[in-house]
Chain A
Amino acid sequence: DAGVIQSPRHEVTEMGQEVTLRCKPISGHNSLFWYRQTMMRGLELLIYFNNNVPIDDSGMPEDRFSAKMPNASFSTLKIQPSEPRDSAVYFCASSPGLAGADTQYFGPGTRLTVL
């Protein structure tokens, strides 16, 4: 399997622009997670889905952030409008399910820079 695929790998945009990050989970995995990593705040869970349904979005920082999972093989994280403080590495991860023992498989991340 190709693993979790994220695109783009790097994104540079200007403040106020819309940004869309994309993720393709591992085939057969039922759960998908979006994380944000910064030096100041470490690794933060933003939202996660099970069977394409959002389970917990309490980590989404504000209404400017939204995430969708229209089918089992695709998810997006959108920021509109973007701000410089959104600059971070965004990771998508998938797991077989939501059993506590399930391993999360991370993608390579998208490095977002908002100028």
Chain B
Amino acid sequence: AQSVTQLGSHVSVSEGALVLLRCNYSSSVPPYLFWYVQYPNQGLQLLLKYTTGATLVKGINGFEAEFKKSETSFHLTKPSAHMSDAAEYFCAVSEGSTNAGKSTFGDGTTLTVKP
């Protein structure tokens, strides 16, 4: 069975500081991994995803994540936080054919950016 653990339900950084949101997954087969962002009063939207190939994945708004199989991790980073990055971030895993595309979402991490 697949599962996702997001370490830290709340993360606070200063504007311009490094953003690091942690995600660890469990999967019985090679996973597909996603980061979604949810701004207030909106639905989730895709930031980036890992399918196959290069383990460092670049997404929108300057975010990137690295798939580390040995650590079963897919942490999200951004070198310099902007006020507009304040949102809730969800990590998700999908096993593809074994679960017919059903994604399992983490509990979310709320990012606060201080001026």
On A, residues with C-beta under 8 Å from B are 4, 31, 42-43, 45, 48, 50, 55-56, 91, 93, 95, 97-109
Contacts and interface: CB of A to CB of B under 8 A. Distances in A.
Interface of B: 31-32, 34, 36, 41-46, 49, 51, 90, 94-97, 99-103, 105, 107-108
B100 A98 contact: yes
A103 B96 contact: no
Given A43-B108, A103-B34, A91 B102 contact: no
Nearest to B50: A101
B107 A42 contact: yes
Listed from nearest, the 7 A-B pairs whose CB atoms lie closest are A100-B96, A98-B101, A106-B43, A101-B51, A100-B94, A100-B32, A106-B44
B100 A101 contact: no
- Chain A CB count within 10 A is highest, among B32, B45, B101, B102, for B101
Contacts of B99: 100
B32 A55 contact: no
B43 A102 contact: no
A56 B46 contact: no
A109 to B, nearest CB: 5
A100 B32 CA distance: 6
A36 to B, nearest CB: 12
A100 B100 CA distance: 7
B43 A93 contact: yes
B102 to A, nearest CB: 7
B101 A45 contact: no
Nearest to B97: A100
